[in-house]
Amino acid sequence: MAKARVPLLLRASFTSTEAEQPSIETVSMDLSAYVDPLNGKVLRISKVHFLVDDGSGEALPAAAFVNLATNTQPAGGAWTAQLCTGTQTAMKGTNDNRNVATTYTYVSVNAGALTNAVAATTPASANIIMGLNWSYMTFPVPELGYYVAADTLTFMAQHQLDLEASIRHTCVIECEKVKLPASDVNFLLVNQTITT
């Protein structure tokens, strides 16, 4: 009888404050309970999800993107979220073998002031029109999965345009334990520790 494969959901998260956002933040994920290279046991990652919220599970409020009281910059936010094999302290390019998945996110807030019937130069706040543009680019997990023989994954994020609030970054990994021949495991161990 074939062994049943048990799907796993692994999660890692951290909260990035306004003061911390210019810097890279990382959290290591210990896979030693799931990976045993000497016995051919590795982790097959099928999907990686990068999520953000306000720290309590709610969506980010408009005030996180722009100071509504003064309409001051920065008006938006930009960050990169990434999952890599091993213990990493710097972001990796998509050309790096250690890079499992990456998402680049850019949010911009457009504000326009309407003039009233007497052409006032300082319209009331009710006359402010705002629009939110959200775009992202994803380097996804391969369709057949990403096999991890390393005993550590690093989830990290770095902001290029800071937000006006703290933001919780979360990584959710859909995966399962599988067994591979020793030659495949050796190939993975070498491949996941070098850059191309």
Least confident segment among 10-24, 61-75, 127-141, 163-177:
61-75
Q: Is residue 179 included in any domain, yes or no?
A: no
pLDDT of 122 reads: 55
Going along the chain, which residue ranges are E strands?
Answer: 7-16, 25-30, 41-53, 76-85, 99-113, 128-139, 146-148, 152-161, 167-179
Q: Model pTM?
A: 0.82
Q: Is 60 exceeded by the pLDDT of residue 103?
A: yes
pLDDT of 92 reads: 94
Q: Is residue 184 included in any domain, yes or no?
A: no
Q: Is residue 36 included in any domain, yes or no?
A: no
pLDDT of 109 reads: 76
DSSP 4-34: PPPEEEEEEEEEE-TTTTTS-EEEEEE-TTT
Q: Is 60 exceeded by the pLDDT of residue 182?
A: yes
Question: Between 60 and 153, whose confidence is greater?
Answer: 153
Q: Grade residue 80 by pLDDT with cuts at 50, 70 and 90.
A: very high
Provide the residue type at 36 as one letter.
D
Report d(CA 98, CA 43) in Å as an integer: 14
Q: Is residue 123 included in any domain, yes or no?
A: no
Q: Is 50 exceeded by the pLDDT of residue 173?
A: yes
**If you average pLDDT over residues 64-81, what whole number do you get?**
74
Query: What's the pLDDT tens digit per position in 107-164?
Result: 887 766 555 555 555 555 555 556 677 888 999 898 889 999 999 999 999 999 888 8
Contact 136, 103 (CB under 8 A): yes
Split into its structural domains, the chain has a count of 1
pLDDT of 82 reads: 97
Q: Is residue 41 included in any domain, yes or no?
A: no
> Is the link from the previous residue into 142 a cis peptide, with omega within 30 of 0?
no
Domain residue limits at 83: 7-30+47-112+128-141+151-174
- CB contact set of 103 (below 8 Å; sequence gap of 6+): 50, 80, 81, 82, 136, 137, 138, 139
**If you average pLDDT over residues 23-41, what whole number do you get?**
94
Contact 21, 156 (CB under 8 A): no
Q: Is residue 104 included in any domain, yes or no?
A: yes
Q: Is residue 23 included in any domain, yes or no?
A: yes
Contact 148, 188 (CB under 8 A): yes
Q: Is residue 16 included in any domain, yes or no?
A: yes
Q: Grade residue 1 by pLDDT with cuts at 50, 70 and 90.
A: very low
